Chain A
Amino acid sequence: MRPIHAEPLPFFHRGPSPLARVAFFGLASIVLMFVDARYRTLEDVRHAAGSVLFPLQRLVQMPGEAIGGLAAYFASKRDLEAENARLRTELIAQAPAAQGYAAARDENARLKALSALRAQSAPGAVIVHVLYAGRDPFTQKLFVSPGAEAGLVPGSAVVDEHGVVGQVTRVHPTMAEVTLVTDKDQAVPVKVERSGVRSVLYGAGTGRSPELRFMPPSADIRAGDRLVTSGLDGTYPPGLAVAQVMEIERDTGQMFARITAAPLGGVDRSETLLVLAPPAATPPRPEEPADAGASQKGGRAKARRGR
């Protein structure tokens, strides 16, 4: 009589136990997350994986787009006529603004020529189409095409016809990632169009309105004010519409007013966006004066104030 094998037959052998596997892979994920969050050294891996995956994705989205295109092709003549009429009225309605803009632009150009200033934002904006919105509820991102092939670089401002939508944060060969102004980590330097008060608009995350932080209760801001980019950051050209102030809570007991704003750009609607060319490099920060370092205490205080 043969003894019964204690070990399972090799026929049933299925490698390490699930618990061992989940421990190994869980540890691997935690290490990956840590490396990605702290050191940002995995961008190359991400790009390599992305350049394989994104064409596949495009391929799948094609049938839907083709159906949409076909439907648009067979859209009835009446719809087109109605749209045409509507667009014409809109065009007329916007004519004064457009003409005013042209006049202002000419004047601007003359003034710049007079003072021999270089235009800060270079021409070369790229029109991009939204592929899909990020599924991650913790961030507000859009994925657009094309990407690096059309000359997009991280940091460029993204606008639509109504205002600033966001900023390019990551560029793949055929697509790019746009972080919206409503994202929690996104900040846009703005000023109030009416009064010229400068501030920074911070996104507040999914489902919450962006807000102006650190504004004293006495700041000259009213509900309904338009916020435009101040152009102080060297990323957004000055004068782009960003948001409209919705609500102001002035509590004199608090150090800062609570100011919420609604984005003017179609952050959750627009399908076609314009990526502005990155502005010309800003001049380097001037050297600290030599005597600032003479007294260490004074120098540190100055550095803190400078920030």
Chain B
Amino acid sequence: MRIAARVPSFTPARPEEILKPAKPWFVVLTLALAFLVNTLPASGVALALKPDFVALVLLYWCIQAPRFVGVGVAWTLGLVMDVVDATLFGQHALAYAVLAYGAEFFRRRVLRFPLWQQAAQVAALLVACAAIVLAVRLIGGAPLPRWTYAVPPIVGALLWPPLSVVLQWPQRPRASSSTL
């Protein structure tokens, strides 16, 4: 009972809760995990649905921990993704850098909304990110992709609320034992 009262429940943080600053190692760990999930083997429908987890987690930390994660970190991670995906060097880097800038720009506003409305704004950012990649590829001579190209950013936005709950959980203040 005592432990249950001290650990916050697995629900979205209430607006009045002040989150503790994120620990750098937790930021690095979640970004690394997202990178590895991105490269897990997938095929068929799973591949068509699979959102860009790195972009999603990056966006979360750009919004929640701008002191640690900004345009520079996003750009570096983009280069890493370019190596792993064997895409044009700098393609993901450009998209992620713009994504981080968008996050910086929208940061203060996004946080005022409940998670579902945040997801709508996140969808806009992720679609912009995908549009940059699309523009680069079209300039490079690729044909227009099918409509399924728009699915992963939307899936990513739908994953925003659960992802936020998981990522903010360690930062939520624990009730001190004196208040019990």
Contact = CB atoms under 8 A, between A and B. Distances in A.
Given A22-B100, A268-B44, A57 B89 contact: no
Contacts of B104: 18
A22 B38 contact: no
A184 interface: yes
Interface string B126-170: 000000000011001011011011000000000000000000000
B94 A26 contact: yes
B175 interface: no
Interface string A51-95: 001001100110010000000000000000000000000000000
B142 A138 contact: yes
B97 A53 contact: no
A42 interface: yes
A31 B143 CA distance: 23
Contacts of A61: 40-41
Interface residues of B, number: 46
The residue in B44, B67, B87, B98 that gathers the most chain A C-beta atoms within 10 A of its C-beta is: B87
B115 interface: no
Interface in A95-148: 130-139, 141, 143
B105 interface: yes
A138 B137 contact: yes
B84 A29 contact: no
B83 A50 contact: yes
Nearest to B67: A14
Interface stretch (B5-13, B16-24, B72-80, B117-125): B72-80
B42 A205 contact: no
B101 A18 contact: yes
B86 interface: yes
Given A18-B71, A49-B79, A207-B146, A35 B97 contact: no
Given A25-B72, A50-B83, A132-B40, A33 B89 contact: yes
A26 B98 contact: yes
B145 A21 contact: no
Number of chain A interface residues as a range: 35 or more
Contacts of B85: 134-136
Interface in A261-278: 268-269
Contacts of B79: 32, 49
Given A18-B71, A29-B97, A138-B137, A46 B41 contact: no
A250 interface: no
Given A18-B104, A22-B100, A35 B89 contact: yes
Interface in A156-210: 170, 177, 184, 204-207
Contact of B70 (A18, A135, A138, A204): A18
Interface in A252-292: 268-269
25 contacts: A14-B67, A18-B70, A18-B100, A18-B105, A19-B101, A21-B72, A25-B93, A25-B97, A28-B75, A28-B93, A32-B89, A33-B91, A42-B89, A49-B80, A57-B39, A60-B39, A132-B41, A133-B47, A136-B87, A137-B145, A138-B145, A139-B87, A205-B143, A205-B145, A269-B43
**Nearest 7 pairs between A and B by C-beta?**
A32-B90, A29-B94, A132-B41, A36-B89, A29-B90, A22-B101, A33-B90
Interface of B: 36, 38-44, 47, 50, 52, 67, 70-72, 74-75, 78-80, 83-91, 93-94, 97-98, 100-101, 104-105, 136-137, 140, 142-143, 145-146, 148-149
